Structure 1
Amino acid sequence: MAIDLGTKYQISQAVKGNFNSAESLTVTSNDGSIVQFTLGEGKGRGAMPIQHLDYLLKRSNLTILPNKRSLITPDHNEEQIG
């Protein structure tokens, strides 16, 4: 699974305590083995091995949040996006 910069994940209730009770985290860097992220609501930042992020995704402790641009239907062109 590709982990792109700017990808935002929602943090489940089960592991929020491990992430300063933040609601989300956003990937800021990925060097192939380590992922750096910022926590939502200005609650900090951190890093973890990519294998651990994969583990959290498989256990549904993190779920990807779609970016707003992907929610726009394909029949809208760039001029209509505001």
Structure 2
Amino acid sequence: MSIEAGSRYQISSTIKGYYNSAESLTVIRNNGITIQFTLAEGKGYGSMPIQHFQYLLKRSELTPMTNKKSLLSQEIQDEQIG
């Protein structure tokens, strides 16, 4: 799973306290070693090693949120192909 800039992740209730009780975070930069992110609702920003981010994903502490715009563009592409 690639972690790209602009990707949004929902923060589980068990670790929200570590992230200023934000509902989600958005990746703003991934340099291959460190992930930089902003928290939803303007609650701050931060960074963490990519290994820790992957650990949180594996434990389901962070879950990817689907982008409605990308879903719509995928549907349009499917219609154009078929």
TM normalised by structure 1 equals: 0.87
Offset at residue 68 of structure 1 (A): 1.3
Aligned to 2:40: 40
Instruction: Give the root-mean-square deviation of aligned CA atoms.
Output: 1.1
After TM superposition, list the pairs within 5 Å mapping 1:63-78 onto structure 2. 63-72=63-72, 73=75, 74-75=78-79
Q: Pick the structure with more helix per residue.
A: 2
Unaligned runs of 5+ in 2: none
In the alignment of these two chains, the number of paired residues is: 76
| 1:34-56 per-position Cα deviation (integer Å, ceiling 9, x unaligned) | 00000000000000000000000
- Cα distance in 1, alignment partners of residues 62 and 79 from structure 2: 31
The alignment-based identity, stated in percent, is 59
